[in-house]
Amino acid sequence: MAASSSALTTGERGALSRALAGFVVVALAVPAPALAALAAAPAPGPSAMSSTTSAEAQAKVVAASGRVILLPRREGDPLPSSTDASLRESVRAGLRAAGVGVIEVGSLPAGTEVCDELRCLSGLRGSLGIGHVVRATLASIDRDYALRLELIDTADASVVATFDERCALCGLAEAGAHLSAGAEGLFRAAAAASASAAASAIGTLRLTSAPAPAGVTIDGVYAGESPIERGLAPGRHAVTVAAPGHQPVVQELTIVEGEAATIHLSLAPSPPPPPRWGGALLGVGIGLVAGGVFTLALDDRPRPLSCDPAAGACAEFETTWAGAGLLAGGAVLTTLGAVMVRRARAHRRRGGP
């Protein structure tokens, strides 16, 4: 019986077997704790997929830069372990609400050291891709809760955002709600700090011109019409301003980080275009030169209609002065026309009409 058309060929079965074998090898090469850590990071919920304000969008960009570990309870922390565990769960809920994948310490590969020192943080960043850790300092003073959260960058152990609040006369549930909101707000604060740092890392150019508006080109790229305000990287920049009927102005300037450079450029009117009849003068001049040459060629030649057969002599043409006059006039007009044509071409090359 012939094989079914849907059956795999020998080559297809071999390719499928090799692909399955490769998948098994990769799966065996990844430690089980690391797979568990990846599985523990939840996908962003609907609130993380939508952005209603620019601050929220920036916060999600910061949150997406890496996963987060909530540092474990330290020895000697004053709160009872059950109260501490409940408050820390509120912190995790706030971080997840910000769209962050929270990695549980217990799911990390065996031997992974977790602390707030740079040597630990560098290891977490290099081996597991952890971008930030959160350090929680929680205490109860009389009937108040002292709540402090710090978002720490694993790249350099710097504190990039802080939540610090004293919840007066709070119950455990109320303190947990404050902590959850504070944890979610850590990433908005980090985003604001990141945006502020980015803004201070550039300079600003404020340019006005006379006349206005005029086209502005910065480093060969059209930037719009004056007046204009534009952020630029620190360093040297070439600015060109051009307007119809005016000569363009090119100016180099230096932008300093975090500072604003204000300049005003005045454009001089373009010179009037040269007369357009230079070509006509050139043509007339060339014609007069040709006529002068021809006239001089007739000089001293006999006039065919003025011959006396009896005397055997003919009158001759006297065209020396006429030919010289034509040559001189033609030379003057040719020179003047050539100069006018050249100026007209140069004017058009400069952008004139």
DSSP for 220-248? TEEEEESSEEEEE-SEEEEEEEE-TTB--
Return d(Cα 129, Cα 79) in angstroms, integer: 31
Cis peptide before 46 (omega within 30 of 0): no
Task: Give one word for 142, left, alpha or beta, with left for phi > 0 and alpha for psi -120 to 50.
Answer: left
Q: Does domain 203-266 have CATH number 2.130.10.10?
A: no
What is the structure's pLDDT at 319?
79
The string over 201-232, giving b where at least 16 C-beta atoms fall within 10 Å of a residue's C-beta and e elsewhere, is eebbbebbbeebebbbbbeeeebeebebebeb
Summarize pLDDT for 317-348 with one digit per residue, the tens.
777 888 788 888 888 888 988 888 887 777 67
Among the listed ranges 36-40, 168-172, 265-269, which one has the minimum average pLDDT value?
Answer: 36-40
**At the topology level of CATH, where does 31-196 sit?**
Rossmann fold (3.40.50)
Kind and range of the H or E run holding 199 = helix 172-200
Listed in order, the ranges of the chain carrying CATH 2.60.40.1120 are 203-266
**What average pLDDT does the structure give for the chain?**
76
Residue 192 has pLDDT above 70, yes or no: no
Listed in order, the ranges of the chain carrying CATH 3.40.50 are 31-196
What is the structure's pLDDT at 21?
39
> Which tokens belong to 301?
């030649």
Return d(Cα 135, Cα 148) in angstroms, integer: 8
Helices and strands, counts by H and E, the chain: 9, 14
- Average the pLDDT over 53-59 and give the result: 44
What is the structure's pLDDT at 288?
85
What is the structure's pLDDT at 27?
38
Task: Give one word for 245, left, alpha or beta, with left for phi > 0 and alpha for psi -120 to 50.
Answer: left
Judged by DSSP in three states, 78 sits in: coil
Residue 168 has pLDDT above 80, yes or no: yes
Q: What is the dihedral of CA 229, 230, 234, 238, to 10 degrees?
A: -90
Residues 6+ apart with CB under 8 A from 204: 229, 230, 231, 232, 255, 259, 260, 261
Closest C-alpha among 252, 146, 134, 220 to residue 183: 134
pTM, full prediction: 0.42
Among the listed ranges 22-36, 57-71, 138-152, 307-321, which one has the minimum average pLDDT value?
Answer: 22-36
Judged by DSSP in three states, 348 sits in: helix
